[in-house]
C-alpha cells in the first residue's frame, strides 16, 4: 500500500511555516502533513531523485551526482538543483 501524498510534498504548496501553507490551486490554508488532494503535483525533492542514495540513519542520505557523494537528506527541496532527475518518470 503506498503512502498517501502530503500537502507539503506538492508543488502547489506555498509553505507559510513548518506546519501549514497555502495551496496555489484553492488559495486555502492547508496543513503540511494532511493528505493531498487530486490536484497533487509532486514536488522535486532529493527523495524523488534518482541520484539520491539512502543512508543508514533515518532522514539522511547522499547525493551521487557530485564527487565524494556529499550528505543530503530526503526532504531537501530540489526545484533549483541542476542535478535533479526524477527517480520515477
Partner 1 sequence: MSRKLTDVLAQADARLEYHAMGTPPAQPTPREAAGAPSPRAARLRDLYYGALSSASNEFPHWYTRAYMRLDNEIPVVRRALALESAFRHLTPTIFPGELLVMGKTHHYRGSFPMPWLSEGYYMAAENQLYQDALARGSASADAVSTFGTGGGNVTRSFGPVVSIAGKFGIRREEVPAMLLVAHAWEGRSVDDIGHKYEQMAPGYEIKEALMRSVTCMFDSGYTLPQGREVVNYYYPLQFGFDELIEMTERKKTDVAGRADGDGLAGMNRLYNYEAASHVLRGVRAWIENYAREARRLEAMERDAVQRREYAEIADCLEWIAHRPPRTFREALQLTWTVHVAVLNEDVISGLSPGRLGQTLWPWYEQDVAAGRLDEAAALELLECLRVKYTCLDCFASMGVVGGVLSGNTFNNLSVGGLDRDGRPANNRLEELIITAAMTCASTQPTLTLLYDDKLPESFLLKAMECIKTGTGYPAVVNNRTAIEFLIGQYGSEGMDLEEARAIAIGGCLETSPCSWMPLTLNGRPYWIPGGSGQPTSVGVHFLSLPKILELVLFDGVDRRTGLRVFPAHGRALGSYEELFDQVKAYFAKAVEVLSLANNIQHDVWRKNNTAVFNSLLKPDCLESGHLIHELGYRYNATHNVETCGTVNLVNSLAALKSLVYDRGFVSLPAFRQALAENFGFKMADEVGSFSLASQEKRGDSTEHDRTHVECLTAPKYGNDNPYVDDILREWEEWFCTKCRDYESLNAMPYYACQISVSTHAPMGAVTMATPDGRLAGTTFADASMSAYPGTDRQGPYALFSSATCWDHSLSQNSQLNLKIHPTAIHGRAGTKKLLELTRSYMRKGGFHIQYNVVDSRILKDAQEHPEEYRDLLVRVAGFTQYWVEIGKPIQDEIIARTEYEGVQG
User: Of residues 35, 42, 54, 59, which one binds partner 1 by CB under 8 A?
Assistant: 59
Cα–Cα distance list, 72 to 55, 66, 78 (Å): 9, 11, 11
How many Å apart are CA 16 and CA 82, to the nearest integer? Answer: 25
Answer yes or no: are the C-beta atoms of 52 and 63 closer than 8 Å.
yes
Closer to partner 1 by CB, 32 or 50: give it. 32
Question: Is 15 a binder of partner 1 (CB under 8 A)?
Answer: yes
User: Of residues 56, 79, 88, 89, which one binds partner 1 by CB under 8 A?
Assistant: 79
User: Of residues 3, 4, 38, 57, which one binds partner 1 by CB under 8 A?
Assistant: 57
3-class DSSP state of 15: strand
Give me 88's grid cell. 520515477
Enumerate binding residues for partner 1 (CB under 8 A): 12, 14-20, 22, 24-25, 27, 29, 32-33, 57-60, 66, 68, 70-77, 79-81
Amino acid at each position: 500500500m503506498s503512502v498517501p501524498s502530503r500537502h507539503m510534498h506538492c508543488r502547489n504548496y506555498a509553505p507559510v511555516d513548518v506546519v501549514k501553507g497555502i495551496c496555489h490551486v484553492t488559495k486555502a490554508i492547508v496543513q503540511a502533513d494532511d493528505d493531498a488532494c487530486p490536484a497533487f503535483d509532486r514536488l522535486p525533492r532529493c527523495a524523488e531523485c534518482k541520484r539520491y542514495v539512502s543512508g543508514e540513519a533515518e532522514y539522511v542520505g547522499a547525493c551521487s551526482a557530485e564527487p565524494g557523494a556529499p550528505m543530503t537528506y530526503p526532504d531537501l527541496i530540489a526545484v533549483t538543483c541542476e542535478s535533479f532527475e526524477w527517480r520515477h518518470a
